[in-house]
Amino acid sequence: MKQYLLSVYRPDDLEIEAGALDAFLQNVGLLIKEMKAADAWVFGAGLQAAHSATVVQADNGEVMTTDGPFVEDKWHTNGFMIVEVPDKASAIEWAAKLGKLFKATKLPVEVRELRSE
């Protein structure tokens, strides 16, 4: 079995009404239950807004921190899931189910295989 990262991206300026967000989170919970029943679920989480990030960089033994996201872009990772499935096609199927939960916003879900050591 291989593990895949399903990353959800969202623009910073996308506003989601509280009711719509509650319904979405409930549907994500149902998808997670489905993933667990299929023994595909490993781990996942939503993230705080990108502006709350801190970037840490080491340079010649000195550690520097910068407030805000590393990438200056309007799109940032909003959440992620790790799934364990036989192949990339299976990971894409889970990503498609996750992507369908976003309906009108059509937020992208990126699928990437984790490196095995």
Tell me what percent of the residues of the chain surpass a pLDDT of 70.
98
Residue 109 β-bridge partners: 8
Q: How far apart are CA 39 and CA 9, in angstroms?
A: 25
* CATH code where residue 46 lies: 3.30.70.1060
Mean pLDDT (whole number) for 54-58: 92
Predicted confidence (pLDDT) per residue in 4-47, tens digit: 999 998 887 777 777 777 888 888 999 999 999 999 999 999 88
- Number of domain units in the chain: 1
Has this prediction a pTM greater than 0.95? no
Determine the pLDDT at residue 96: 93
Structural domain including 78 reads 2-113
Per the CB < 8 A criterion, the answer to whether 4 and 88 are in contact is: yes
Q: 37-61 burial, b if ≥16 CB within 10 A, otherwise e?
A: eeebbbebeeeeebeebeeeeeeee
